[in-house]
């Protein structure tokens, strides 16, 4: 009787460990978290990265402005694929 009880306990512990490992694996498969819409930054690799104001045109070109302190970075991509990035800082 003791042998049967010990076998049942061991099987139960193994099953509990397997289910915990499965749950942890499911959780780690989606590391990319979505930041709520009203926030001015997104989370990437646990760090805050400022969001930009992106305007996309019908031809596929876009323009994005990212503000960090006194500096503004403007990223532009034309419909032909040309990329341009400028950064302007205004001391106060």
Give the pLDDT confidence of 15-71 residue by residue, as tens digits. Answer: 877 777 776 665 555 555 566 777 778 777 888 887 788 899 999 999 999 888 899
CA distance 68 to 52: 10
Going by DSSP bridges, is the β-strand pair 71-77/53-56 parallel, antiparallel, or unpaired? unpaired
Domain assignment present for 75: yes
Number of domains in the chain: 1
Domain assignment present for 39: no
Domain assignment present for 45: no
Give φ, ψ of 24 to 5 degrees: -65, -35
Range of the domain at 75: 2-28+51-89
């Amino acid at each position: 009787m003791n042998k049967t009880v010990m076998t049942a306990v061991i099987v139960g512990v193994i099953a509990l460990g397997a289910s915990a490992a499965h749950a942890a694996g499911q959780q780690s498969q989606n590391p990319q978290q979505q930041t709520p819409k009203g926030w001015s930054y997104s989370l990437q690799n646990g760090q805050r990265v400022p969001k930009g104001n992106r305007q996309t045109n019908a031809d596929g070109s876009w323009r994005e402005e990212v503000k960090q302190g006194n500096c503004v970075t403007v990223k532009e991509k034309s419909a032909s694929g040309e990329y341009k990035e400028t950064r302007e800082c205004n001391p106060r």
